[in-house]
């Protein structure tokens, strides 16, 4: 498990009501890592937030951590 995946998993599980339903998938490419978050449908709104603010904050955290590790990463929330 990568550090980025662990970070996003930790933060996401803290946000939702059903942390056992959180699934994080990491797809590593040549230049970019894609981290996919899948949560229970009742928790989806909590991960996205009002007007996408929580999702934007998660992406900001991921970008900051990625920059520190000299990597490029993208966060996707799976419906």
pLDDT tens, position by position, 5-29: 999 999 999 999 999 999 999 999 8
Gap between the Cα atoms of 48 and 72, Å rounded: 21
Residue range of the domain that includes 64:
3-77
Residues 6 or more apart whose Cβ sits within 8 Å of residue 50: none
Q: Measure Cα distances from 60 to 8, 10, 42, 57 in Å.
A: 11, 15, 24, 5
Q: Is this model's pTM higher than 0.95 or not?
A: no
Query: What is the domain-level CATH number for residue 43?
Result: 3.30.300.20
Number of compact structural domains in the chain: 1
The answer to whether 18 and 31 are in contact (CB under 8 A) is: no
pLDDT tens, position by position, 56-73: 999 999 999 999 989 999
Helix (H, G, I), strand (E, B) or coil at 64: helix
């Amino acid at each position: 498990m990568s550090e980025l995946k662990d970070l996003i998993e930790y933060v996401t599980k803290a946000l939702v009501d059903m942390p056992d339903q959180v699934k994080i998938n990491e797809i590593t490419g040549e230049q970019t890592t894609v981290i996919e978050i899948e949560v229970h449908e009742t928790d989806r709104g909590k991960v996205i937030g009002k007007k996408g603010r929580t999702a934007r904050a998660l992406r900001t955290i991921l970008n900051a951590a990625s920059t520190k590790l000299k990597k490029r990463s993208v966060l996707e929330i799976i419906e």
